[in-house]
């Protein structure tokens, strides 16, 4: 007689929550365990105080989604979050404060992909026709070759020969934001896959694949917390604030999880923590897998939050920046009224001390945006925000051992360390764990 398997999900980030929902949808009895009291992992809410003392929910890092994130948007809908309400959708734009840069023109916003992206290339402000045509020709060549390159190629190598303006104002910002590495160090194969899906692929229903989707709510409320509520309403168990300290294979083929003086048996387990924590926990069960997870390098992302004028200090919800340390700035007041005046500066591949980065970012805001007197709210650095997506990188597989899977954006797959990669990995592991045998 087949009975619903009991499945434990260890880790309540986006991958773990996606795994839990997928396993529940597949008929499993699910227990989701998270060490902290805030779900979301490396894309979660952080509560700080406004200078006037009012609570202000922000995020541990400013994120954007794109229309090509089909799995993420479907996951949100499945747990009751309507993307068209929760996200501000804008056509692809990488404009700077002076108005220069690339953006889909209004008259092409409803064109199907890739025509909208091609229109953006041909109308990029401040670019010479030679710059525009060079990017267009290279994009069509990438498409003709199936967006494939040698595994050892860097982004700089696959883009060799493109004009400096194209590299400085498009390729480098896209590369460092998507892969969290400069073009000279990042995987060309993964970068081309991102370009393929974002510019030439298919978007989720109602979205162009290249559309930028900016969160109107904090990241925990965007998916993980609704997922927990969805699970509870269907009789599953969610345990925030609980630490799992050990995992043991049982003679009957199941798994025993232990922590804080408690033990519980499960038929199957999905381990959905940061790769270093997963490697530490699973090194005796699957030493080869753990070695691959532990070998991953990591790069940091810093988000500098500052308070400026309440009435839209920026001309658009998001602007690109030149020269560093920040690559992008977001006017959160244009996303959520309660955040009026709050600016979020994103420093991908950040290096250095947080205080120095904050000071340099505020100076960058003065020089490029004309903003003086910004009040620093908080600067948050995730030291291990993403794995280093270098050429030829070997990433650990999702299958760890019999009835044991891992989930996370670092698991072997086509995407870099993104919410979409985490959700896809979690869904695959959750569905595998739910299968009846």
CATH number of the domain to which 284 belongs: 3.50.50.60
DSSP state of 305: E
Same domain, 320 and 341: yes
Whether 288 and 303 share a structural domain: no
Is 178 within a domain? yes
CATH code, domain carrying 381? 3.90.660.10
- State the DSSP code for 203: P
CA 248 centroid distance within chain:
31
pLDDT given at position 1: 42
Residues 235 and 264 in one domain: yes
> Is the domain of 121 the same as that of 155?
yes
Residue 2 pLDDT: 61
**Same domain as 304, residue 280:** no
Instruction: Please give the pLDDT value at position 51.
Output: 85
408 in the same domain as 263? yes
Q: Is position 36 within any domain?
A: yes
Model confidence pLDDT, tens digit, residues 178-198: 999 999 999 999 999 999 999
- Residue 420 counted as domain residue: yes
- 228 shares its domain with 343: no
Residue 246 pLDDT greater than 60, yes or no: yes
Q: Is 351 a residue whose pLDDT tops 70?
A: yes
Domain boundary among 350, 371, 387: 387
Which of the 8 DSSP states describes residue 4?
Answer: P
The three-point CA angle 430-436-437 to 5° equals 125
Last residue of a domain, one of 199, 228, 260: 199
Number of domains in the chain: 3
Q: Percentage of residues in the chain with pLDDT exceeding 70?
A: 100
Residue 260 lies in a domain: yes
Question: What are the angstrom distances between the C-alpha of 77 and each of 70, 235, 427?
Answer: 11, 20, 14
19-48: average pLDDT: 97
Task: Tell me the whole-structure pTM to 2 decimals.
Answer: 0.96
- The average confidence (pLDDT) of the chain is 95
pLDDT of 436 reads 79
pLDDT: is 55 or 181 the higher one?
181
Q: Residue 23 sits in which domain range?
A: 6-43+220-296+393-434
Question: Do 406 and 342 reside in the same domain of the chain?
Answer: no
Cα 299 to Cα 30, 278, 411: the distances in Å are 33, 18, 16
């Amino acid at each position: 007689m087949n009975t619903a398997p009991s499945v434990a999900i260890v880790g309540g980030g986006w991958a773990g929550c996606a795994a839990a929902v997928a396993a529940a949808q597949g008929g499993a009895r699910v227990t989701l365990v998270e060490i902290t009291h805030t779900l979301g992992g490396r894309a979660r809410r952080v509560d700080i105080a406004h200078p006037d003392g009012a609570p202000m929910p922000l995020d541990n890092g400013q994120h954007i989604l794109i229309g090509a994130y089909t799995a993420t948007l479907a996951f949100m809908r499945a747990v009751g979050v309507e993307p068209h309400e929760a996200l501000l959708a804008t056509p692809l734009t990488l404009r700077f404060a002076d108005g220069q840069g690339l953006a889909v023109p209004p008259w092409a916003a409803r064109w199907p992909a890739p025509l909208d992206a091609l229109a953006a290339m041909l109308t990029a402000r401040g670019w010479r026709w030679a710059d525009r045509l060079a990017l267009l020709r290279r994009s069509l060549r990438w498409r003709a070759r199936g967006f494939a390159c040698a595994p050892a190629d860097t982004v700089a190598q696959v883009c060799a020969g493109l004009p400096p303006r194209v590299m400085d104002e498009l390729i480098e910002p896209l590369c460092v934001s998507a892969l969290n590495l400069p073009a000279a160090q990042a995987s060309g194969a993964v970068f081309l896959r991102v370009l393929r899906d974002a510019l030439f692929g298919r978007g989720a229903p109602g979205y162009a694949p290249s559309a930028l989707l900016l969160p109107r709510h904090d990241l925990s409320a965007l998916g993980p917390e609704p997922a927990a509520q969805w699970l509870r309403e269907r009789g599953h168990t969610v345990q925030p604030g609980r630490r799992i300290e050990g995992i043991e294979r049982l003679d009957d083929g199941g798994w025993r999880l232990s922590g804080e003086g408690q033990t519980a048996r499960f038929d199957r387990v999905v381990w959905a923590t940061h790769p270093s924590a997963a490697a530490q926990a699973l090194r005796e069960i699957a030493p080869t897998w753990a070695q691959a997870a532990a070998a991953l390098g990591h790069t940091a992302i810093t988000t500098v939050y500052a308070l400026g004028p309440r009435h839209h200090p920026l001309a658009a919800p998001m602007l690109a920046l030149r020269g560093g340390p920040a690559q992008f700035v977001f006017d959160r007041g244009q996303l959520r009224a309660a955040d009026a005046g709050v600016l979020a500066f994103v420093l991908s591949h950040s290096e250095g001390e947080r205080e120095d980065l904050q000071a340099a970012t505020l100076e960058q805001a003065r020089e490029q945006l004309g903003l003086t007197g910004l009040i620093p709210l908080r600067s948050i650095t995730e030291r291990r925000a993403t794995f280093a997506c270098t050429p030829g990188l070997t990433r650990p597989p999702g299958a760890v051992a019999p009835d044991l899977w891992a989930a996370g954006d670092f698991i072997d797959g086509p995407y870099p360390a993104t919410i979409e990669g985490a959700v896809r990995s979690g869904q695959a592991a959750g569905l595998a764990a739910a299968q009846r045998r």
